């Protein structure tokens, strides 16, 4: 089953087509990576898929239903979640509270119940806290639960965003450069986390510059250049694609390409 | 424990009168509690959800005039007029909030400022109902056949209401809605992709904060026995914002401290005669320079650091 499809998806900013006629079909249960040089439209594509931008042309289907123009909070309720390249942490809250916000779509209390702290709210808080702790444990941050989020190191914040997104129990998770700025050990940890997410049946769409991670973990790789599709295929197919090598290195040479992709 | 601040404040409130040398102190206490109530509400909006309002005195004004217009023109009891005013403020906040809460930062500040000015102008110009710039005298509050008089009685009524306001605010903070509001403050976009209906949550907290201000306004009018359009004026709105920031954004206890400082200081500074206002300004500046996160959060952080 296709969980996410885009149909000639396009968006223009002041005449510049940042994403131009991109067709993507993500099979349920896969790791689907989107790569491309800086400015090729990867993050813009993510913003379109998560409802933050509204496409100028084309459409998006989530689990077979058309969701073009649907707001991000509604998409979240339909099982889509994401992380951000430039971290969007709730920095005034604790690590655990950050992840608790991820449970928002599952929480069922009214404003009057919240103001009066009815027993239903107490039960809800407890359930939310438990689920949030479990999500933190999955990314190896259980120990840090009660620390202020602002006190975590960069690599840990990356994992915190993943835990927060996981807490919403998505069917589809968009990860925007989860390994950017991470050292090799932290990248290894991200690799492990993504594999465990997929094992749970969650589909992962990944934007990433770390080629070793992408080539290791992806079922399919989609290459963008200047907002257009350059190539798509298995990691092996993409690795040996002449157009891809040219865009990445600006030279014809398989040796340099091998080095870049290893 | 969630309600610890409210319990601590309730205890202080009960003990404090034993140290009052005269009835005058009950009067100051009641004024502090009334303003603190409005400030708690505004703090939910500003300190938690991160949305500024420079027109909150508008709701203070609606509450204040409702306890005149209700009894005088419609024959309603004062307490019922207070509730009617709170409901009206909530409805107006809901209607006004829908379009203006889409705005961010300075634009939101200017739009709320406009709302506050609008209320003040209506209260000044609709002289047939409001008495115009000279205002109106307010019928006394009667509860269960007992006419409320004296600062002493008002101290207890406003104090009890403030503690109730504290409890509701603390409940809200540790609820799903409260977490969503704090999330909106830090990153609207992240809150949105986690399923938080950002526009609706902002509207909810704006409405709640308007109800707090309205109840405070009603008490202020009933307590003073007279009301003029100044209650809804721009300076009042600024004073409320100053109380929030001085006490500490996002600190419920800070709301009381901020209100106390800005109500008590002018009384204490009368010894400076014509320089009273200048001294007040100077002291507030010094507070903000040395306790930049507000009195309560800054002192709490300093205390935590000192204990380590």
Quick one: pLDDT at residue B239?
Answer: 94
| Residue of B179, B189, B198 with shortest CB distance to A97 | B179
Question: How many Cβ pairs within 8 Å bridge chains A and B?
Answer: 108
Quick one: pLDDT at residue B280?
Answer: 86
Tell me which of B190, B211, B251 to substitute to probe the interface with A (most A C-beta atoms closer than 10 Å): B190
Q: Does A105 fall in a domain?
A: yes
Any A CB within 8 A of B200 CB: no
* Residue of A207, A206, A198 lying closest to A166 (CA atoms): A198
Give B44's pLDDT tier (boundaries 50, 70, 90).
very high
- Cβ A203 vs Cβ A24: under 8 Å: no
- Nearest-CA distance B115 → chain A (Å): 25
pLDDT in tens, B112-160: 999 999 999 999 999 888 988 888 999 988 887 778 788 889 999 999 9
Query: 77-136 in B: which are within 8 Å (CB) of A?
Result: none
- Are B176 and A124 in contact (CB < 8 Å)? yes
Quick one: pLDDT at residue B2?
Answer: 87
Domain holding A156, by residue range, is 91-169
Instruction: Give per-residue burial for B153-174: e unless 16+ CB within 10 Å, then b.
Output: bbbbbbbebbbebbbbbbbbbb
pLDDT in tens, B53-90: 999 999 999 999 999 999 999 999 999 999 999 999 99
Q: Does A127 fall in a domain?
A: yes
Q: Among all residues of chain B, which has the CA nearest to that of A105? A: B195
- Are B186 and A92 in contact (CB < 8 Å)? yes
* A244 alpha-carbon distance from chain centroid: 23
Tell me which of A104, A129, A168, A172 to substitute to probe the interface with B (most B C-beta atoms closer than 10 Å): A104
- Nearest-CA distance B59 → chain A (Å): 20
Place of tokens 């269960």: B144
* Residue of A86, A24, A189 lying closest to B187 (CA atoms): A86
- Does the structure show a pLDDT above 50 at B36? yes
Any A CB within 8 A of B251 CB: no
- Are A101 and B191 in contact (CB < 8 Å)? yes
ipTM: 0.90
- Are B190 and A73 in contact (CB < 8 Å)? no
pLDDT in tens, B86-112: 999 999 999 999 999 999 889 999 999
Q: Among all residues of chain B, which has the CA nearest to that of A82? A: B193
- Cβ B229 vs Cβ B124: under 8 Å: yes
- Are A92 and B250 in contact (CB < 8 Å)? yes
CA distances from A167 to A82, A132, A135 (A): 11, 6, 6
- Nearest-CA distance B18 → chain A (Å): 32
Written as six digits, the tokens of A254 are 């398989």
Q: Does A185 fall in a domain?
A: no
Quick one: pLDDT at residue A57?
Answer: 94
A82 neighbourhood in chain B, CB within 8 Å: 193
Q: Over chain B, what is the mean pLDDT? A: 93
Quick one: pLDDT at residue A261?
Answer: 57
**Domain count within chain A:** 1
- Cβ A4 vs Cβ A49: under 8 Å: yes
Q: Does A41 fall in a domain?
A: no
B2 neighbourhood in chain A, CB within 8 Å: 117
B183 neighbourhood in chain A, CB within 8 Å: 90, 93, 101, 104
Quick one: pLDDT at residue B144?
Answer: 79
Contacts for B161 with CB less than 8 Å, ≥ 6 apart: B33, B37, B215, B219
pLDDT in tens, B266-308: 888 888 888 888 888 898 889 889 888 899 999 988 888 877 6
What predicted TM-score, i.e. pTM, was given to this entire model?
0.92
Q: Does A103 fall in a domain?
A: yes
Q: Does A109 fall in a domain?
A: yes
Q: Among all residues of chain B, which has the CA nearest to that of A150? A: B186
Q: Does A128 fall in a domain?
A: yes
Extract the residue ranges of chain A whose pLDDT is less than 50: 252-254, 256
Instruction: Give per-residue burial for A26-58: e unless 16+ CB within 10 Å, then b.
Output: beeebbbbbbbeeebbbbbbbbbbbbbbebeeb
- Are B193 and A82 in contact (CB < 8 Å)? yes
Q: Does A23 fall in a domain?
A: no
Written as six digits, the tokens of A213 are 């991670």
A77 neighbourhood in chain B, CB within 8 Å: 195
Beta strand A57-62 with A220-225: parallel, antiparallel or unpaired?
unpaired
Written in H, E and C, the secondary structure of chain B is CCCHHHHHHHHHHHHHHHHCCCCHHHHHHHHHHHHHHHHHHHHHHHHHCCCCCCCCHHHHHHHHHHHHHHHHHHCCCHHHHHHHHHHHHHHHHHHHHHHHCCCCHHHHHHHHHHHHHHHHHHHHHCHHHHCHHHCEECCCCEECCEECCHHHHHHHHHHHHHHHHHHHHHHHHCCHHHHHHHHHHHCHHHHHHCCCCHHHHHHHHHHHHHHHHHHHHHHHHHHHCEECHHHHCHHHHHHHHHHHHHHCCCCHHHHHHHHHHHHHHHHHHHHHHHHHHHHHHHHHHHHHHHCCCCHHHHHHHHHHHHHC
| Residue of B179, B186, B193 with shortest CB distance to A81 | B193
Quick one: pLDDT at residue B177?
Answer: 96
């Amino acid at each position: 089953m296709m969980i996410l499809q885009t149909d000639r998806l396009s968006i223009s900013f002041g005449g510049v087509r940042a994403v131009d006629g991109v067709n993507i079909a993500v099979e349920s249960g896969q790791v689907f990576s989107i790569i491309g040089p800086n400015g090729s439209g990867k993050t813009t594509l993510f913003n379109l898929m998560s409802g933050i931008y509204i496409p100028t042309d084309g459409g998006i289907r989530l689990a077979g239903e058309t969701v073009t123009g649907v707001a991000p909070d509604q998409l979240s309720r339909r099982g889509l979640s994401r992380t951000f390249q430039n971290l969007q942490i709730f920095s005034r809250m604790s690590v655990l509270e950050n992840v608790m916000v991820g449970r928002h779509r599952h929480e069922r209390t009214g404003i009057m119940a919240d103001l009066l702290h009815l027993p239903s709210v107490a039960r809800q808080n407890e359930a939310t806290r438990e689920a949030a702790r479990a999500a933190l444990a999955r990314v190896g941050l259980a120990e840090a639960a009660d620390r202020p989020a602002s006190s975590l190191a960069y690599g840990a914040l990356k994992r915190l965003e993943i835990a927060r997104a996981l807490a919403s129990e998505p069917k589809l998770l968009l990860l925007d450069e989860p390994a950017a700025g991470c050292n090799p050990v932290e990248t290894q940890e991200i690799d492990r986390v993504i594999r465990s997410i997929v094992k749970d049946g969650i589909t992962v769409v990944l934007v990433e510059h770390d080629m070793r991670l992408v080539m290791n973990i992806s079922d399919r790789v989609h290459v963008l250049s200047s907002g257009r599709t350059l190539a798509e295929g298995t990691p092996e197919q993409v690795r040996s694609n002449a157009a891809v090598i040219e865009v990445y290195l600006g030279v014809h040479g398989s040796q340099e390409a091998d080095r870049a992709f290893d | 424990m969630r309600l610890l601040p409210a319990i601590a404040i309730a205890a202080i409130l009960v003990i404090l009168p034993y140290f009052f040398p005269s009835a005058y102190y009950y009067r100051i206490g009641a004024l502090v509690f009334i303003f603190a109530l409005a400030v708690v509400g505004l703090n939910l909006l500003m300190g938690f959800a991160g949305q500024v309002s420079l027109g909150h005195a508008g709701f203070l004004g609606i509450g204040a005039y409702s306890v005149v217009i209700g009894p005088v023109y419609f024959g309603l009891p004062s307490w019922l007029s207070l509730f009617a005013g709170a409901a009206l403020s909530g409805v107006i906040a809901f209607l006004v909030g829908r379009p203006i809460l889409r705005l961010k930062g300075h634009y939101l500040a200017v739009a709320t400022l406009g709302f506050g000015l609008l209320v003040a102008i209506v209260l000044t110009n609709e002289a047939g109902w409001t008495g115009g710039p000279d205002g109106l005298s307010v019928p006394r509050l009667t509860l269960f056949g007992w006419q409320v008089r004296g600062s002493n009685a008002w101290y207890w009524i406003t104090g009890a209401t403030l503690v109730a306001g504290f409890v509701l605010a603390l409940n809200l903070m540790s609820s799903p809605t409260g977490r969503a509001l704090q999330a909106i403050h830090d990153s609207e976009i992240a809150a949105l992709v986690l399923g938080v209906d950002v526009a609706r949550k902002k509207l909810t907290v704006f409405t709640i904060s308007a109800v707090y201000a309205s109840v405070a306004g009603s008490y202020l009018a009933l307590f003073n026995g007279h009301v003029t359009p100044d209650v809804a004026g721009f300076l009042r709105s600024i004073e409320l914002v100053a109380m929030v920031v001085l006490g500490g954004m996002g600190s419920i206890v800070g709301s009381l401290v901020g209100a106390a400082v800005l109500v008590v200081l002018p009384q204490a500074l009368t010894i400076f005669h014509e320089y009273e206002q200048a001294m007040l300004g100077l002291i507030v500046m010094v507070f903000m320079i040395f306790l930049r996160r507000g009195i309560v959060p800054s002192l709490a952080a300093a205390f935590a650091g000192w204990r380590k």
